[in-house]
C-alpha cells in the first residue's frame, strides 16, 4: 500500500480516538471543575509541555550527522513551541490563582506521575531512539492534543484560558503534520507499515487512558475506543 493511502487508513482510526477524547474534554469543562481542580489540571498540562520540550530537544541533540537540515528546522521549531507552551500554561495557572506560584515545587510535584502525560509515551515506544515511533507519536499524540485543546477553547468560559489554548491547539496541529510528513517518507516501506500496525492501537488506547485520568470517563467514549481498538 502506498504511504499516503496507508496514512489515510490511520486517519480513520484516529478520528474515533479524537472524538472520544473531545467528548470527555467537553464534559469535564462543562461540569465547571473547582479552582483547585483546574490548578492541578493545568499544572499537569504545563509539565507535559516541559517533558515534550526535553524529549524533542534530546532528539535534536542526538541527530545523526547526515540528518536532513529541513527536519532539524522542523524539530527545532517544535522544541521552541513546546518551550512557549510551557510558559503559556504557566501563565494560565497564574491567571487562575491570581499571582505567581512556586514553579520548582509545581514541577517536582509531578515527578513519578509521568504516566498521566502523553509525553511519557515517547519513552514507552522508544520514540526518543526510533524515528518511525517518533513520527507516529507526533502524528497521533499531537493530533489528539490539537483536537483536545481546540475543544477546550470552545468550552472554557474564561477568555484568557480559551485564547491561550486556541493558540496551543494550532501549534499542536503543526506538530502533528511534522509527524505526518515523516511518515509519508518512512511508510513506503512495507516493513515499517507492519511495525506501525503492531503498535498503533495500543498507543491510541494509551492516549485515551491518559485523557481519562484528567477528564474522567464517559461510557460512550470508552465503548467507542474499545469497539475500535480492543479492551482497555
What CATH code is carried by the domain that includes residue 14?
Answer: 1.20.910.10
In the block, cell 480492543 appears at 230
**CA–CA dist 20, 23 (Å, integer):** 5
Of 104-108, 120-124, 155-159, 214-218, which gets the smallest average pLDDT? Answer: 120-124
Residue 214 domain boundaries: 3-229
Task: Give the chain's mean pLDDT.
Answer: 95
196 has pLDDT over 80: yes
- The pLDDT, as a whole number, for residue 112 is 78
Work out the average pLDDT over 201-224.
96
> Looking at residue 116, what DSSP letter applies?
G
Confidence of residue 115 (pLDDT cuts 50, 70, 90): confident
- The pLDDT, as a whole number, for residue 117 is 82
> Looking at residue 230, what DSSP letter applies?
-
Confidence of residue 111 (pLDDT cuts 50, 70, 90): confident
- The pLDDT, as a whole number, for residue 48 is 93
Work out the average pLDDT over 91-117.
91
Identify the three-state secondary structure at position 180: helix
165 has pLDDT over 80: yes
Work out the average pLDDT over 20-40.
96
Using alpha carbons, list the distances in angstroms from residue 177 to 20, 23, 84, 143, 182. Answer: 21, 23, 19, 8, 9
Q: What is the dihedral of CA 124, 127, 129, 130, to 10 degrees?
A: 120
Q: Considering only CA atoms, which of 191, 172, 161, 139 is closest in space to residue 9? A: 139
* Whether 20 contacts 225, CB under 8 Å: yes
**Size (the chain), residues:** 232
Q: Considering only CA atoms, which of 155, 152, 125, 154 is closest in space to residue 139? A: 125
Total structural domains within the chain = 1
- The pLDDT, as a whole number, for residue 127 is 80
Identify the three-state secondary structure at position 2: coil
**CA–CA dist 130, 59 (Å, integer):** 10
**CA–CA dist 34, 186 (Å, integer):** 45
Work out the average pLDDT over 211-219.
94
Amino acid at each position: 500500500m502506498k504511504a499516503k493511502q496507508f496514512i489515510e487508513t490511520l486517519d480513520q482510526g484516529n478520528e474515533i480516538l479524537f472524538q472520544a477524547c473531545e467528548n470527555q474534554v467537553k464534559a469535564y469543562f462543562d461540569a465547571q471543575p473547582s479552582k483547585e481542580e483546574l490548578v492541578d489540571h493545568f499544572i499537569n498540562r504545563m509539565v507535559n509541555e516541559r517533558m515534550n520540550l526535553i524529549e524533542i530537544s534530546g532528539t535534536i541533540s542526538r541527530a545523526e550527522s547526515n540528518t536532513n537540515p529541513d527536519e532539524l528546522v522542523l524539530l527545532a521549531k517544535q522544541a521552541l513551541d513546546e518551550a512557549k507552551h510551557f510558559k503559556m500554561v504557566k501563565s494560565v495557572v497564574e491567571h487562575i490563582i491570581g499571582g505567581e506560584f512556586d514553579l520548582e515545587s509545581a514541577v517536582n510535584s509531578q515527578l513519578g506521575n509521568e504516566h498521566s502525560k502523553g509525553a511519557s509515551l515517547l519513552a514507552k515506544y522508544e520514540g526518543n531512539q526510533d524515528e518511525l515511533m517518533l513520527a507516529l507519536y507526533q502524528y497521533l499524540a499531537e493530533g489528539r492534543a490539537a483536537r483536545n485543546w481546540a475543544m477546550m477553547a470552545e468550552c472554557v468560559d474564561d477568555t484568557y484560558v480559551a485564547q491561550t489554548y486556541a493558540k496551543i491547539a494550532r501549534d499542536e496541529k503543526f506538530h502533528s503534520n511534522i509527524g505526518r510528513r515523516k511518515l509519508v517518507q518512512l511508510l513506503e516501506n512495507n516493513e515499517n507499515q507492519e511495525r506501525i500496525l503492531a503498535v498503533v492501537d495500543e498507543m491510541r488506547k494509551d492516549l485515551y487512558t491518559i485523557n481519562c485520568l484528567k477528564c474522567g470517563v464517559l461510557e460512550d467514549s470508552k465503548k467507542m475506543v474499545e469497539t475500535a481498538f480492543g479492551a482497555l
